[in-house]
Homo-oligomer: A and B are copies of this chain.
Amino acid sequence: MFSRTSYGLRVNVNTLPPSIVSVFAPATVANVGSAFDVLGFALESPGDTVTARRTESNNIIVTKITGDEGRLPLDAEKNTAGVSIRALLRHLASTDPNRYPSVGFELELTKGLPIGSGLGSSSASTVAAVVAANELLGCPLTRAELLPFAMEGERIACGAAHADNVAPCLLGGFALIRSYDPLDVISLPSPASVWVAVVSPHLELKTFDARRVLRRNVSLEAAVAQWGNVAALVAGIYQDDVALMGRSLEDRIIEPERAELVPGYLTAKAAALQAGAAGCSLSGSGPSLFALCASEELARAVSVTIVKSFGALGITATGYTSRVNATGAVVIKRS
């Protein structure tokens, strides 16, 4: 349980922090089938990279964004990365006003994953930026302690401080959000035998719209079936049982509402299962989808099958295959 009030500052005074850091943060899959709004997991790739330089200017400046096709704001007060770092700095100042009297950052973002695709694009940039800033400050906070600040970026990106993308992006593996108040995030294992096929069709779907289609009430019967599946999904993760995980993705509540928003989804899912995937569902609120597979070879075949299925409808799509990422964001350069 990460308490919002129990952070301590842990600075190693014998080592000077670096002045430039590059951090890679991976794509994530949230709303994992039945486990809508409570579970997410990290992929090994694709992902975003943030290179950050510490300055003494008191400003957070986004100097450059590559790979976003001009869609993200350079204004750091509107950019999820800038907002998260600002929240982190405010917290650090509140615990020790004299430690960082004048500190700023210059950030360069390289987007490696598609924006608005349901693969946690904003989370990846945010997490990479917060991890980089923490490194440049000498790592005053642990990964888990960075979570609330990364969540502030999510508030800008999608209107609510969700944790189901940022938590696995920061911590790796599967992350379970039991509760937001108090924040209670549980790190689950990374099932080593699972390979994931992820396909991102080139369609755009606003998260806001995807939430709006959901009914406010559900039948108790469907809810019970759903939490039976959620429980079995968690058991499958601990048991590294891809078949159990796959069949436990079954989602009687969210998928029927959202499937219609993604043209070709149900056909692609059927093709993935036919090709041997253990289970398949939307990633986040779509339009990307993911399929759990028992081997790398199978995941590649399933990915190709899904891309072809969209292709038959005239929809181009990009396929990826990845294991579940066990470590989350990583520092890839330090100087």
Contacts and interface: CB of A to CB of B under 8 A. Distances in A.
Give the copy number. Answer: 2
A183 to B, nearest CB: 12
B178 A228 contact: yes
Nearest to A241: B186
A102 interface: no
A34 interface: yes
A326 B218 CA distance: 36
Interface in A218-246: 218-221, 223-235, 238, 244
Contact of A223 (B176, B178, B229, B253): B253
B37 A231 contact: no
Interface stretch (A118-126, A127-135, A209-217, A301-309): A209-217
A39 interface: yes
Given A220-B214, A223-B223, A228 B179 contact: yes
Interface in A130-184: 176-179, 184
Count class of interface residues, chain A: 35 or more
B224 A215 contact: no
A290 interface: no
A229 B178 contact: yes
Nearest to A221: B216
A35 interface: yes
Contacts of A225: 179
Given A38-B228, A177-B228, A227-B226, A219 B220 contact: no
Nearest to A225: B179
Contacts of A232: 176, 178, 184, 186
A247 interface: yes
Given A228-B179, A229-B178, A217 B214 contact: no
A220 B253 contact: yes
Contact of A227 (B179, B188, B230, B244): B230
A235 B35 CA distance: 14
Given A220-B217, A220-B253, A223-B253, A184 B247 contact: yes
Nearest to A185: B232
A24 B219 CA distance: 38
A119 to B, nearest CB: 21
Contacts of A244: 186
Interface string A25-60: 000000000111111000000000000000000000
A248 interface: yes
Given A38-B231, A227-B227, A248-B178, A220 B218 contact: yes
Contacts of A231: 35, 38-39, 176, 178, 230-231, 233-234
Contact of A38 (B186, B221, B227): B227
Given A36-B227, A216-B221, A230-B231, 4 more contacts: A176-B232, A178-B248, A218-B220, A238-B238
26 contacts: A34-B227, A35-B227, A35-B231, A37-B224, A38-B224, A178-B229, A178-B232, A178-B248, A179-B225, A184-B247, A186-B244, A188-B235, A214-B220, A215-B220, A216-B219, A216-B221, A217-B220, A218-B218, A218-B219, A223-B223, A223-B226, A223-B227, A230-B231, A231-B233, A231-B234, A234-B235
